[in-house]
Structure 1
Amino acid sequence: MTVTVFIDGAVGTTGLEIRDRLAGRGDLAVVTLADDRRKDVTARREALNDADIAILCLPDDAAREAMALIDSGTRVIDGSSAHRTADGWTYGFPELGLDVAGAANVSNPGCYPTGFLALVAPLVRAGLVPHDWPLTVNAISGYSGGGKSLIERFDDDETLAFRDYGFALEHKHVPEMQRHAGLAHPPVFAPMVARAFRGMIVEVPLPLAALPTRPSRAAMLDALHAAYDHQPVITVHDEAPGELLIARDAPLSDRLDLYVFANRSGEQARLVACLDNLGKGAAGAAVQNLNLMAGLDPLAGLVL
């Protein structure tokens, strides 16, 4: 049976990436609205309720409004941050052991939290990092993560090379990082943007000598391998390269690569995740979740 999918917000950055990944698939039927109807409430209500699965690629308030239009059995993947810590929603990170396949409503993870949680959650669960340790996370993303307005800003002003922001320390991604890693305290989050369209590096520094558990690099790698070696989207690398790069014009990717760096004394470490902010950080994750919810090949449409 063909699964019917409606993407509400299909002309935005994430929506277009999802459409590209679903194009030509015979196991899915993607419903689209003409340009003059895509903002029509009646047309959207009909499409939302007729679909087997709806994917919301909307701002937070618009995603909540879309949910209010659904009165049928339509299952939902919400790409916004509106429901990432909401009760009754399944967080869409299946590699963390969450039952995405059986969920009615799935909240797609944020791009920065995807890297952070992939690194930290297994270490907290294994007792290597205390749940009440004051963590920090430094991350840099391609400018496509800021949506149309930031894309236009970088495209229109070639003098822009780098953006540092989030100085109010109230970034909307912090609550989902704290909740889904099981942390007692919100991490200090330092997000940045580089002049590259896509790509992301997320880093968590650890003062191992100060941790009560004083975990070794080998122990942390073992915990990450145990969590992800059976997961085809995530790769844990044993090697420690001298540098990690974001290419200005990198091709799309739905991979997530994890590294653990430590000094020779074992007193300090840097946990690093590399991903495409539009791939596993957004559209790729949505397609993976869609596949699971529809009972299809979890990797269909992904670029690995």
Structure 2
Amino acid sequence: MAAKIFIDGEAGTTGLQIRDKLAGVSGLELLSLPPEARKDKAAKQKLYSEVDVVILCLPDEAAKEAAHLIYAMGADAPRVIDASSAHRVAPGWTYGFPELVAGQAEAVASARRVSNPGCHATGAIALLRPLADAGLIARDAAVSISSVSGYSGGGKSMIEAYESGRAPAFELYGLQLEHKHLPEIQLYSGLTARPIFAPSVGNFRQGMLVSIPLHLDALPRTPRAADLIATFKKHYRGQRHFHVMESDDAARIEPESLNGTNDVEIHVFANEARRQALLVAKFDNLGKGASGAAVQNLMLMLGR
């Protein structure tokens, strides 16, 4: 019997991408509401009762309302993946980052409620959690994170601004240092100190680079770059979507080469003479940073 899936918010960027990725996948049936019923709570709840998994691709407040409709269904409630930031640190929700720690993929597979990670958060956590768990970065370290994303991560209005030529070539934002990805970055990186996070957007549609500079002599055990690489390789061993790059003597790195995939590259650029390093995670902000991660979590939940 085919698993029935409803993408609530299928007309948005993430919803459209999830639908495209699931189109033609055997053993799945995608159900929809007509446009005029998409905000009708009764119609939504009726469809929720007919499906196995609901994927929420909604603004945060709408995702919370949808979750309450699902909670009210009790034992008849479908399983749910929330692609918004509404439930990423909420009790009762499993964080949908299967490579986070040993056993996380199994936790996602058995969960009733899964929160999809944020795009910036995916890169930051991918770089920080392995080092924190290995004791190569202190839990209370003062960490600074920079991230640049393609404009597709900014939603309909930002996409229109860039594609019409009205937007700048590059812009920093989140200048009040209260970006909504910070709570999940701190929690799932295993940090006790709140990091400084500087997000930005560039004039390219999709792709992402998340970077973290390190003073190697300020880290526990004063590691070399090779120690960092070895730690990442151990943490992500056997994870098919993660690739720890061995040789990083490049002078530049661009953000778009992984577009259309669910893959992440981990880079360690280092100057051993200066005892400095730069960690970089590269991936598609619409892939592993959004729709790709949702589909990966869905497949785990369906036992595929």
TM-score range relative to shorter protein: over 0.9
SS for the counterpart of 1:44 is helix
Count the aligned residue pairs.
295
Maintained 8 Å contact 1:198/1:250: no
2 CA distance for matches of 1:281 and 1:164?
19
Question: 1:253-272 alignment to 2 at 5 Å?
Answer: 253-265=261-273, 267-272=275-280
Maintained 8 Å contact 1:209/1:266: no
Q: Which runs of 5+ in 2 are unaligned?
A: none
1 CA distance for matches of 2:280 and 2:52?
37
How far does the alpha carbon of each residue in 1:166-199 deviate from its partner, in whole angstroms, 9 at most, with x for none?
1100000001000001101111000000000000
In structure 1, the partner of 2:97 is 93
Q: Given residue 41 of structure 2, which amino acid in structure 1 is its aligned partner?
A: V
Maintained 8 Å contact 2:225/2:272: no
Maintained 8 Å contact 1:137/1:204: yes
How far does the alpha carbon of each residue in 1:79-115 deviate from its partner, in whole angstroms, 9 at most, with x for none?
0111111111100001113111011100000000101
2 CA distance for matches of 1:250 and 1:290?
21
Correspondent of 1:131 among 115, 133, 139: 139
In structure 2, the partner of 1:235 is 243
Alpha-carbon RMSD:
1.4
Maintained 8 Å contact 1:123/1:223: yes
- Percent same amino acid among aligned pairs? 48
SS for the counterpart of 2:255 is coil
Maintained 8 Å contact 1:196/1:246: no
2 CA distance for matches of 1:175 and 1:193?
20
2 CA distance for matches of 1:7 and 1:281?
17
After TM superposition, the structure 1 stretch with the greater mean CA deviation from structure 2, 272-281 or 218-227, is: 218-227
Q: Given residue 275 of structure 1, which amino acid in structure 2 is its aligned partner?
A: F
1 CA distance for matches of 2:213 and 2:232?
16
In structure 1, the partner of 2:175 is 167
In structure 1, the partner of 2:254 is 245
How far does the alpha carbon of each residue in 1:215-250 deviate from its partner, in whole angstroms, 9 at most, with x for none?
211111111101112000111111102211134x98
* C-alpha deviation, 1:158, in angstroms: 4.6
2 CA distance for matches of 1:256 and 1:46?
38
Q: Is 1:83 aligned to 2:87, yes or no?
A: yes
What TM-score do the two structures reach when normalised by structure 1?
0.94
Q: Given residue 217 of structure 1, which amino acid in structure 2 is its aligned partner?
A: A
After TM superposition, the structure 1 stretch with the greater mean CA deviation from structure 2, 203-212 or 180-189, is: 203-212
Distance 1:152 1:254, change over 3 A: same
